[in-house]
A and B are shown apart, each in its own frame.
Chain A
Amino acid sequence: MTATDLGLPSIGGLDLVPTTDEPQKAKEYKSDQEVRWCPGCGDYIVLNTIQSFLPTLGLKRENIVFVSGIGCSSRFPYYMNTYGMHSIHGRAPSIATGLATTRPDLSVWVVTGDGDALSIGGNHLIHALRRNVNLKILLFNNRIYGLTKGQYSPTSEPGMVTKSTPMGSVDTPFNPVSLALGAEASFVGRALDSDKKGLTEVLGAAAQHRGSAVVEIYQNCPIFNDGAFDMLKDKDEAAQRLIPLTPGEPIRFGAENEFGVTTTGYGGLDVGKVADIGEDNLVVHDPSIEDTAYGFALSRLGDQHLSHIPTGIFRQVARETYDDQARAQVQQAQEAKPADLQSLLTGKDTWTVE
């Protein structure tokens, strides 16, 4: 048997979502619920950034839905004056898949954390990504379990002493960007909670992307893992560590742009001084490269200790989405054959009793 060609046109992530000409303000996206995160929590900055960003999309507010799992960040939908569902631990991608598949007129966002997405919900995350459902997944990574008060998470560093690991964690952590790329994600980005501009740029590209877009957001938990990303926020340290990715431009970083990224002998990537590498040998960033190996190599430049952390868009490729294809199959079937219930019930082999 051969599959049916669905002849799908290529469209943007929001092309089927109704828009409005009415100018919108961030305030309209705030619900009447009091925000109950801890003082100093990185979630506040992300919430504000998203509330400021969404009006720029010009979508009808009622056609935006936030679906979350369980965890501190998963309270997010309650604070948004859109539609929303605060679901159960780890399952948000599956619920959002059902919603996005049946409702192409909605912009569906998933809010999740490192425990929610990578531990209890790991399976749903990778399958949503491989299917390329038209979802925007915001992965708040604070490298700790906050809501349950401070156990290590699947992104905590080995040796981390927490309430559940008094002698230090012996788990090897996930690199969320590597994991997403391994799961065939068509869009992967990363930003810092404190970097409003960078986060907004990545969110904008994610929203316009048709398919699954996962954005890892480094987010500070001031109570149980305070300062986990401080070295990316200290100006001097950050210059040595953060690698901003700009499509079409050579990958360079450092206070004087003195560092750059080059290829290694075996096809991987490495960091070095531009003076040593030579400008011509710098890698020019191209997130549209089909081969996931490129984005994967970028995600491996740094280690768990944040030695080198690319931010921006790792991968952005066009690939057919599960939901577009599923809907096209239904539509094609409907065009090919009328929905004649009586004919279905009667079937082919009948007999009559007088």
Chain B
Amino acid sequence: MSTSANGSATAGIEALSASRPTEVNRLERVVIRFAGDSGDGMQLTGDRFTSEAAAFGNDLATLPNFPAEIRAPQGTIPGVSSFQVHFADYDILTPGDRPDVLVAMNPAALKANIDDVPQGGTVIVNTDEFGKRNLAKVDYESNPLEDDSLSAFEVHEVAMSTLTQGALADTGLGKKDAERCKNMFALGLLSWMYHRPTEGTEAYLREKFAKKPDVAEANVLAFRAGWYYGETTEAFGTTFEIAPAKLPPGTYRQITGNTALAYGIVASGQQAKLPVLLGTYPITPASDVLHELSKHKNFGITSFQAEDEIAGIGAALGAAYGGALGVTSTSGPGIALKAETVGLGVMTELPLVVIDVQRGGPSTGLPTKTEQADLLQAYFGRNGESPVPIVAPATPADCFDIAIEATRIALKYRTPVLLLSDGAVANGSEPWLIPDASTLPDLSVEFATEPNAPDESGEHWPYQRDPETLAREWALPGTAGLQHRIGGLEKAEGKGNISYDPDNHDKMVRLRQAKVDGVDVPDVEVDDPNGNARVLVLGWGSTYGPIGAAARRVRAKGMPIAQAHLRHLNPLPANLGEVLDAYDHVIVPEMNLGQLSLLLRAKYLTDIQSYNKVAGLPFKAEELEGVFTDTIREVGTA
């Protein structure tokens, strides 16, 4: 057995195991999908495998995919939960289109996922679950392991439940409890196959089950049993190595989008030197932002789990009025409920960060699946002329930076800012070059201390503006002499008293719009390596990965294509019009029916090829490659 590049990390089991000569294949990349029943612990298994890949130094990207039901009927297709991880020795952009290896813990998992496995792919099944009853549950007329329906794949049949129970026979654990450790058996087997470091997983299990040491040891035993099974049986002739990736130098960690977003809020509070109040209500797929922030009270963060979405944003706005950084987090249905309070934030011109981790809609839609169909809701989903800046992260790690950017805009311009994440970046993970906290931007703010009336009356005019940013002063309750009243009724420019004056309203509507239009947004950068592309592909949000991967493939075929990605959706970068004009043809892929395309056509009076898919899953690079290739062929090259 060869030593991995990171020799020390695999010392644990390797040192114990008897060496059997196996062929070692070096791969650049591999995509593995763990699939099983919702109760089989596939998310945990995938997550641990990802951590092993990260600890080893691979680049990686993940795609969890699970049902909205906590426990759908066992053994059925709706109950299938999967976790796909793509890891490589170079920088990758997506969780992968198709799994090279499918681990199927039962017939439902096999049936739901086999169509995604390319011919020649590896399928590892838990044969113990392939009894008559389970086959019937998913309408398999014959056992696919016995007929020739899987002949296109390299199938490994492993009796994982039996082997796990056998390995745990002496632990005193009941048969059923022992069987529940089979996911760790699968993880051990895959860890052996891919030369993954194992110490991290063992340490993790012992920590997770610290209060139940027998369960911890059972899981470790099952994990080792899976490893030994690969090591000692001859069923697996080949193991695989994927060398660490040559990423830019620095210290990395693995991070999911929701964790990065929460850290971004923590950092924002620190950089602004403000206490943070997160007012929120649990909702998939945004709840992890609440869970994470609740852990970091030592950073001056109050997490308020409100009675509903409206109260969540209400508390955040109330805290903002008092001088805290007000944040609310939700998904699309929650944004619908918060709309009126966002409007109050627009009218009272208070800073507020509104996080929307988008999911499939309309209505309850697809709670656990991804979509980016809330863009127009973010833009226009309020009564009246109610403009708000909008930003969107491109990758899981970018969620950190985008949270800081949203806060910067909110504080500088005294406005609610909509942050549009989505299920794919929220739950997906990737390596993160850990930022140096001392280099993060300074977000500190100045509160009003003196009356500001320009007429020397000594009064305080709450709607007196900074001539450059058009932001009004932030005068906090508790400041003597600045007593004032704000609210949802139209305010007189400057003085801020209620005003029904027609000209004043027209002026205030335009001022609020001008303030948002004037937000400083960096120019969009175009990646056009040879400068000879005629086709530009423009994306926003989580489509960054698949678009980039597809563009690479197209370029590898010798076809030029330019790529640009928007992190600021409102206002749009000042150079965007020129960028669109510079290309003969623009493609905008979106996981909606063309919302950004609609905006671009209206704003720039230019034609856009809108490519849309609303399937609840990220685009596949293969699919976009086809679209880009066809378009370039039609448009022709320069």
Interface residues, chain A, with chain B CB atoms under 8 Å away: 18, 31, 33, 60-63, 65, 67-68, 70, 77-78, 80-88, 91, 93-103, 105-106, 123-124, 127, 326-327, 329-330, 332-334, 336-339, 341-342, 344-347, 349-354
Given A342-B436, A344-B266; A62-B480 close (CB under 8 Å): yes
B318–A67 touching, CB < 8 Å: yes
A86–B318 touching, CB < 8 Å: no
B324–A341 touching, CB < 8 Å: no
Interface residue count for B (Cβ, 8 Å)?
76
- Among residues of B, the one whose C-beta sits closest to the C-beta of A124 is B311
For this complex, 15 residue pairs linking A to B, each with C-beta atoms less than 8 Å apart, are A62-B482, A62-B483, A85-B487, A86-B486, A86-B488, A91-B311, A98-B304, A99-B477, A103-B323, A106-B478, A330-B297, A334-B298, A339-B270, A341-B267, A349-B254
- Provide the bound-state CA to CA distance between A61 and B299, in Å: 31
A341–B266 touching, CB < 8 Å: yes
State how many angstroms separate the Cβ of A66 from the closest Cβ of chain B: 8
B residues 504-555 in Cβ contact with A at 8 Å: none
List 18 additional A-B contacts (Cβ < 8 Å) besides A98-B326, A124-B307, A339-B300: A78-B497, A83-B484, A85-B318, A86-B487, A88-B343, A95-B317, A95-B318, A97-B304, A101-B315, A124-B311, A327-B302, A330-B300, A330-B302, A341-B266, A341-B270, A344-B266, A350-B434, A351-B244
State how many angstroms separate the Cβ of A334 from the closest Cβ of chain B: 5
Residue B340, interface by CB 8 Å: yes
B residues 238-284 in Cβ contact with A at 8 Å: 244-254, 263, 266-267, 270, 275, 277, 279
B302–A337 touching, CB < 8 Å: no
A338–B298 touching, CB < 8 Å: yes
Task: List residues of chain B with CB within 8 A of the CB of A332.
Answer: 297
State how many angstroms separate the Cβ of A8 from the closest Cβ of chain B: 16
- Provide the bound-state CA to CA distance between A150 and B329, in Å: 38
Given A87-B344, A351-B57; A103-B477 close (CB under 8 Å): yes
Task: List residues of chain B with CB within 8 A of the CB of A87.
Answer: 314, 344, 487-488
- Provide the bound-state CA to CA distance between A334 and B276, in Å: 13
Complex partner residue of B485 from A83, A93, A102, A353, CB under 8 angstroms? A83
Interface string of B313-334 (1 = CB under 8 A from A): 0111111111110100000000
A326–B478 touching, CB < 8 Å: no
Residue B348, interface by CB 8 Å: yes
Task: List residues of chain B with CB within 8 A of the CB of A333.
Answer: 297-298
- Among residues of A, the one whose C-beta sits closest to the C-beta of B481 is A62
State how many angstroms separate the Cβ of A22 from the closest Cβ of chain B: 11
B477–A83 touching, CB < 8 Å: yes
Given A87-B488, A354-B249; A78-B315 close (CB under 8 Å): no
Task: List residues of chain B with CB within 8 A of the CB of A127.
Answer: 306-307, 311
A95–B321 touching, CB < 8 Å: yes
B250–A353 touching, CB < 8 Å: yes
B486–A62 touching, CB < 8 Å: no
- Among residues of B, the one whose C-beta sits closest to the C-beta of A100 is B318
Given A87-B344, A341-B266; A351-B55 close (CB under 8 Å): yes
- Among residues of A, the one whose C-beta sits closest to the C-beta of B488 is A88
B341–A334 touching, CB < 8 Å: no
- Among residues of A, the one whose C-beta sits closest to the C-beta of B485 is A84
Given A83-B477, A123-B307; A98-B316 close (CB under 8 Å): yes
Residue B296, interface by CB 8 Å: yes
Complex partner residue of A345 from B51, B267, B323, B348, CB under 8 angstroms? B267
